[in-house]
Amino acid sequence: MNDQFLDLVRETARKRILFLPHAVRQMSRLDRMISPSDIREVLENGEMIENYPEDRRGHSCLILGIDRNNRAIHVVCSPKEEYLAVITAYLPATGLWSQDFRERGSL
């Protein structure tokens, strides 16, 4: 199921990616500076680490990927019929995530 959903994410991303306002704000923070090409890299080569089938915004997921500067990036996205909605993107904090950024740490 997760592989099928990740395939759907990638398929819709090839059509069009829509960056929601929250994602743009998070990506533009001076301590992050995540580019659209970084997001494309994560979407094309990353792995889905969390699946949110009951998300109020529609079925979505969290994808972990590595950008060209070797930074771990998390992208939350939701495939729609005509585009992929990027809900948010951020650099995962070491204190909140496991060392490999795949599992949430204990808060």
pLDDT at residue 80, rounded to an integer: 96
Tell me which of 94 and 38 has the higher pLDDT.
38
Structure tokens at 105: 């740490």
Asked whether the predicted pLDDT for residue 34 surpasses 70, the reply is yes
Asked whether the predicted pLDDT for residue 106 surpasses 90, the reply is no
Asked whether the predicted pLDDT for residue 7 surpasses 60, the reply is yes
Query: What value, to the nearest 5°, has the Cα angle with vertex 28 and ends 25 and 29?
Result: 90
H or E stretch covering 11: helix 2-15
Asked whether the predicted pLDDT for residue 107 surpasses 60, the reply is no
pLDDT at residue 94, rounded to an integer: 84
Q: Tokens 């998300």, residue?
A: 55
Q: What is the pLDDT of residues 46-96, one digit of tens each?
A: 999 999 999 998 999 999 999 989 999 999 999 999 999 999 999 999 889
Q: Domain boundaries in the chain?
A: 2-90
Would the pTM count as exceeding 0.85?
A: yes
Q: pLDDT band at 1, cuts 50/70/90? A: low
Q: State the Cα–Cα distance between residues 15 and 77, nearest whole angstrom.
A: 14
Query: Of 1.10.10, 3.30.70, 1.10.3470, 3.30.2310, which CATH number belongs to 2-90?
Result: 3.30.2310
Q: Tokens 């590595």, residue?
A: 66
